[in-house]
Amino acid sequence: MKYLCGAKSRIMLNTVIFDMDGLLVDSEPLWGLAMREVLDGLGVTLTPALTSHTTGLRTKEVVSYWHDYFKWDSKSPEVVTDEIVENVTQRILQEGRAMEGLDYILRFFTEQQFKIGLASSSPESLIQAVVEHLDIKKYFQAVVSAEFEAYGKPHPAVYLACAEKLGSSPLDCIAFEDSVTGMTAAKAARMRTVVVPEAHNFQDPRYALADLKISSLLSFDEKALKALQPK
């Protein structure tokens, strides 16, 4: 019994892992523009409503999804994937803006002496371009791309890999997400999960799965952190 009590008491949140697209950088509209531009060149029309169906997936999975749907044959999915990543990278470098509260939340967890990681569905090349563009690389002790995992979100692989790289138990981690797909991945990894949905998706009932839902990174504070701590 003493051992069990000790095991329970050792669980203490000390690590935070962030998604990237739509959470740290306002890139979701740019992803949509890039995909539509590249697919337009194939004679495929992808509306904003359709684009939202694949939010949170890896680029190759998005392209595979739409290739199966539209069945174009002029370019391979691999070539189309590379073109989309190149297109969105250039757009982010030219137009990408930090999400509200980005500097605040990274400073907050630094001051709390948390280990900080990033776990994204984006390719590693794009992740590195974004963290350099936003000048936030110094905050992260681990940056992991689902590009190198067997499965992407909603599978928890990328979150588990990031926690392992940080030397943390998933039970000691908070994950920040903006999509249902990402939230599902973080919860499957058994992490406390905070969601910051886009305004038009804020009332999606599926976000009830999260431990906390907020409208902005600025809304997270010491009170919220205390409420997430295991009882």
Catalytic residue among 19, 26, 172, 178: 19
Q: Is 175 within 8 Å of 194 (Cβ atoms)?
A: yes
Q: Is 30 within 8 Å of 95 (Cβ atoms)?
A: yes
> Which residues, other chains included, contact 205 with Cβ-Cβ below 8 Å and sequence gap of 6+?
none
CB atoms within 10 A of CB 219: 15
Q: Is 19 a catalytic residue?
A: yes
HEC secondary structure over 71-103: CCCCCCHHHHHHHHHHHHHHHHHHHCCECCCHH
With vertex at residue 206, the alpha carbon angle to CA 202 and CA 208, rounded to the nearest 5 degrees, is 85
Q: Is 211 a catalytic residue?
A: no
With vertex at residue 200, the alpha carbon angle to CA 27 and CA 57, rounded to the nearest 5 degrees, is 45
Catalytic site residues? 19, 21
